[in-house]
């Protein structure tokens, strides 16, 4: 594993709220995929990294009065336990009349989990300046030397890579705050923001979603107070008392245009455009050529700790067993749209 930083989880992963929560909705493939990933993630962390996963359960709350009307339907479609106002108060939730409790939800220790995940993996601080393939071998160049590899998986987050340009990876800035608190909060909860249970006198509030192209732009939008809106929104539904800031985390996440994550092979976009220029005009029958032994895992948005175990399982099966990834996460879906957009100028 290579990273230009000296340790993992210094960017968006470290700033993540890292809440393990299902998605609510009336149906659709994104709902199904997210909740499959939720089940996989909860089981994966429980079985392998219980020290870094606080499986306290999570309560999902209505975003507004209109959303509240749909909670019986959500219960039928997604499951969970439907809670009334008095039951919510017992959990430390105020001003709410209905909620859905999922016992397999919770929150991860983002930094601790990322470090634990690579405990038995060789990790090198290495900023890749150039990536190219020579005689079937990948050569990764940096100012400190070269590394050779048979296969490369790009997990480059919001910065993407030239090879991934057709995927349209977008930027989403997020902030999280860890606070000392006397609040008697017994469960994680989510409305417009997420609040963790009080564990050892500390609660986590996160994470914001700010559309910004850079950290500088995001900080200008936050106006020097990245946690202000988080605290205000959390105070509307959570009994948070005597907050004393322990630490602030900020970082850039990566997302896709259609909100589905990305994992799979990488198309040789330059070859395809040169060989089949008609794809810019909507031609769909050109055989896809991939870049040999190059893969991607990206675009997890604000659900990185939910999606990632499932994506990793799918990518592993693709690389070592030749099993195709789920079509919903396959980046191929984005290529023809990108090519047609080029044709429109």
What integer pLDDT is reported at residue 54 of this predicted model?
Answer: 96
What integer pLDDT is reported at residue 240 of this predicted model?
Answer: 86
Q: What is the mean pLDDT of each run of 10 residues along the chain (345 residues)?
A: 85 80 95 97 98 96 94 95 95 94 96 92 92 95 94 91 93 89 92 94 86 72 79 91 88 90 97 96 94 96 94 97 97 96 84
Instruction: Give the whole-angstrom CA distance, residue 174 versus residue 254.
Output: 10
Q: What is the pTM of this model?
A: 0.92
What integer pLDDT is reported at residue 134 of this predicted model?
Answer: 94
Provide CATH code, domain 2-115+170-255: 3.30.9.10
Q: Which residues contact 250 (CB under 8 A, 6 or more apart)?
A: 15, 173, 174, 175, 176, 215, 218, 226
Q: Residues for the chain: how many in total?
A: 345
* Angle at alpha carbon of residue 207, lines to 203 and 211, rounded to 5°: 165
What integer pLDDT is reported at residue 332 of this predicted model?
Answer: 97
Closest by CA position to 95, among listed 198, 194, 234, 199: 234
What integer pLDDT is reported at residue 129 of this predicted model?
Answer: 93
- Which residues pair with residue 250 across a beta bridge? 175
CA distances from 240 to 202, 237, 325 (A): 11, 9, 43
Where along the chain do its domains lie? Answer: 2-115+170-255, 150-169+257-343
Q: Do domains 2-115+170-255 and 150-169+257-343 have the same CATH topology?
A: no
Closest by CA position to 107, among listed 169, 195, 170, 193: 195
Given a contact cutoff of 8 angstroms between Cβ atoms, the answer to whether 138 and 17 are in contact is no
What integer pLDDT is reported at residue 345 of this predicted model?
Answer: 66
Given a contact cutoff of 8 angstroms between Cβ atoms, the answer to whether 205 and 179 are in contact is yes
**Long-range contacts of 323-327, Cβ-Cβ distance < 8 Å, separation of 24 or more:** 325/263, 325/264, 326/33
- Topology (CATH) of 150-169+257-343: FAD/NAD(P)-binding domain (3.50.50)
What integer pLDDT is reported at residue 321 of this predicted model?
Answer: 96
Instruction: Give the whole-angstrom CA distance, residue 244 versus residue 182.
Output: 10
What integer pLDDT is reported at residue 323 of this predicted model?
Answer: 96
What integer pLDDT is reported at residue 141 of this predicted model?
Answer: 95
What integer pLDDT is reported at residue 10 of this predicted model?
Answer: 75
What integer pLDDT is reported at residue 64 of this predicted model?
Answer: 92
Given a contact cutoff of 8 angstroms between Cβ atoms, the answer to whether 106 and 20 are in contact is yes
What integer pLDDT is reported at residue 252 of this predicted model?
Answer: 85
């Amino acid at each position: 594993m290579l990273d230009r930083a000296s340790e993992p989880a210094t960017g968006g992963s470290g700033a993540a709220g890292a809440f393990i929560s299902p998605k609510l909705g009336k149906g659709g493939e994104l709902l199904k995929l997210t909740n499959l990933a939720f089940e996989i993630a909860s089981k994966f962390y429980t079985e392998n990294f219980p020290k870094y996963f606080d499986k306290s359960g999570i309560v999902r709350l209505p975003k507004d009065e209109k959303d509240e009307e749909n909670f019986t339907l959500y219960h039928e479609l997604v499951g969970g336990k439907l809670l009334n106002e008095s039951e919510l108060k017992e959990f430390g939730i105020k001003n709410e009349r209905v909620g859905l409790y999922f016992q397999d939800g919770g929150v991860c220790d983002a930094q601790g989990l990322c470090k634990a995940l690579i405990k038995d993996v060789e990790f090198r601080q290495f900023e890749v300046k150039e990536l190219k393939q020579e005689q079937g071998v990948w050569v990764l160049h940096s100012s400190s030397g070269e590394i050779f590899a048979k296969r490369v998986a790009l997990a480059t987050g919001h910065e993407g890579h030239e090879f991934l340009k057709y995927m349209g990876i977008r930027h989403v800035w997020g902030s999280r705050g860890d606070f000392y608190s006397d609040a008697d909060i017994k469960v994680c909860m989510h409305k417009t923001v997420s609040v963790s249970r009080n564990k050892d006198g500390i609660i986590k509030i996160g994470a914001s979603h700010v559309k910004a192209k850079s950290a500088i732009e995001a900080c200008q939008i936050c106006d020097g107070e990245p946690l202000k809106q988080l605290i205000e929104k959390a105070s509307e539904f959570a009994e948070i008392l005597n907050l004393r800031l322990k630490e602030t985390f900020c970082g850039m996440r990566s997302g896709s245009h259609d909100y589905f994550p990305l994992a799979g092979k990488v198309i040789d976009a330059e070859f395809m455009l040169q060989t089949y220029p008609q794809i810019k005009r909507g031609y769909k029958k050109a055989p896809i050529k991939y870049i040999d032994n190059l893969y991607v895992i990206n675009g997890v948005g604000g659900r990185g700790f939910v999606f990632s175990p499932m994506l990793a399982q799918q990518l592993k099966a693709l690389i070592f067993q030749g099993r195709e990834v789920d079509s919903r996460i396959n980046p191929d879906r984005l290529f023809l749209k990108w090519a047609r957009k080029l044709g429109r100028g």
